[in-house]
Amino acid sequence: LNMKHSWLVVWVGTLFLNPVTADCNITFQTVICEESGKNLSSIPTNLSQNVTKLSLKNNKITLKDSDKEILGHFINLTELNLNENRITELHNNSFCNLKNLINLDISNNHISTVHKAAFAGLNQLSVLNLSYNMIAQLDSDAFTSLESLTVLNLQYNLLNYFHIKSPFKLIKIVLAGNRWICSCDLLDLQIWLTASNVTLENESNTTCTLPNKEKISIKMAIQQPAECNIEKTSLENTVTSTPVISLRSSALITALTPNITGNNGTHAELPLVGKSWTFLAGVLGFVLGTTLLIFTAVKCPTWYHYVISYRHHRLEENDPERFEQEFSAGTSPSPSVLRTNSEEPIVIFEKIHAFGDGEDGFIEDKYIDSYVNEER
């Protein structure tokens, strides 16, 4: 009996105290595990799968494939803290099974690359902290699937621009401490910040750098947006003045490959030449027209000589006699000169050619219709 009581005590202690998760605070609704500052190189496997709040800050975690697999078991997780680790890249579907995750902190790492589908599956995510990393390029499409996202922290990265392709709903955004450059690349971000209801936190320190090294608020970076439209038009005109072959190649490549994603998951910007089917049609029309003009110029001399060779007229009734006289005058070696009473010289040419029995005095011309000979 005492033996049974002993086993019962051990079982109850294992169930409620859970020695393998001694650093986890288990309550009725939440399981909070604190695994910070333990020099961990990977996510531990001895955690309760019912954990709802997990802190792994100040470790050496790199978020390898094995770490993503372990994280996928914590389906009840609502808060995840991975700051102050050694994460350098956020691959696609890094947190895809954490459908209940609300708060994700990946700040103070060495992240330089964020793939487009890195946050896929986080339908309930509300707060995302990516501050104090090394992100130089970021595709806004990475956040469009986060329908519940309200707070985005991107401060103190290496961003020069941030294109807002499809606006996403935010309540607060933090952009201070980046390397913003005052150029037309900030136009869509500026328009979005002005038109939306988003709050730009620490706005006074969110500045961009002018060409003269002066700093100005990012909302005032482009005071005359029309200038950017002029620059864009000038760029398009410059592109249309390039050689036809290169234009056609660029247009076809762009039309066939609308989106290209680099190896690091960031969006590679495409040239503006082929983004419109009308531009492609114009280029093709120009190429065909130029080719036709060149072909016509080359063939024109041949056609001209061909047409000239057919310039002839039908012989008249008195043409044979006139031809005979002219021919006799040109071939006679010694014309005879007779004088009359009026003493005017009369030149008589001797007939040196007599027509045969079957000849009628007409010159044969291969271009005269056969029916003319038949009538004669």
Domain extents in the chain: 20-230
pLDDT number for residue 1: 46
CB 267 within 8 A of CB 116: yes
Secondary element (H or E) of residue 215:
strand 215-217
The encoded tokens of residue 252 equal 């076809």
User: Quick one: DSSP state of residue 261?
Assistant: B
- The mean pLDDT of 344-368, rounded to a whole number, is 53
pLDDT number for residue 358: 52
How would residue 238 be classed by pLDDT, with cut points 50, 70 and 90?
very low
pLDDT number for residue 370: 55
Q: What is the C-alpha to C-alpha distance for residues 33 and 21, in angstroms, rounded to an integer?
A: 8
Strands 31-34 and 24-26: antiparallel
Question: How high is the mean pLDDT of the chain?
Answer: 74
User: Does position 181 have pLDDT exceeding 60, yes or no?
Assistant: yes
Highest mean pLDDT: which of 172-176, 319-323, 324-328?
172-176
User: Quick one: DSSP state of residue 219?
Assistant: G
Of residues 314 and 184, more confidently modeled: 184
User: What DSSP line would sit under 137-205, residue for residue?
Assistant: ---THHHHT-TT--EEE--SS--S----SS----SEEE-TTS--B-SGGGHHHHHHHHHS--EEETGGG
What is each CA distance from 76 to 8, 31, 67, 71, 273, in whole angstroms? Answer: 29, 9, 17, 10, 48
CB 118 within 8 A of CB 91: yes
Q: What is the C-alpha to C-alpha distance for residues 125 and 151, in angstroms, rounded to an integer?
A: 10
Percent of the chain with pLDDT strictly greater than 90? 36
Determine the straight-line distance between the first and last CA of the chain, rounded to whole angstroms. Answer: 147
For residue 86, which of 16, 17, 50, 133 has the smallest C-alpha distance?
Answer: 133
pLDDT in tens, 272-310: 444 567 888 888 899 899 988 888 877 777 766 666 665
- The mean pLDDT of 312-326, rounded to a whole number, is 56
pLDDT number for residue 4: 47
- The mean pLDDT of 115-128, rounded to a whole number, is 94
| Residue 277 Cα to chain centre, angstroms | 13
Of residues 39 and 249, more confidently modeled: 39
Of residues 361 and 44, more confidently modeled: 44
Q: Write the class of the CATH domain 20-230.
A: alpha beta
Secondary element (H or E) of residue 216:
strand 215-217
Residues in Cβ contact with 235 at an 8 Å cutoff, skipping those fewer than 6 apart = 272
- The mean pLDDT of 1-8, rounded to a whole number, is 48
pTM: 0.57
- The mean pLDDT of 120-142, rounded to a whole number, is 94
pLDDT number for residue 300: 74
User: Does position 206 have pLDDT exceeding 90, yes or no?
Assistant: yes
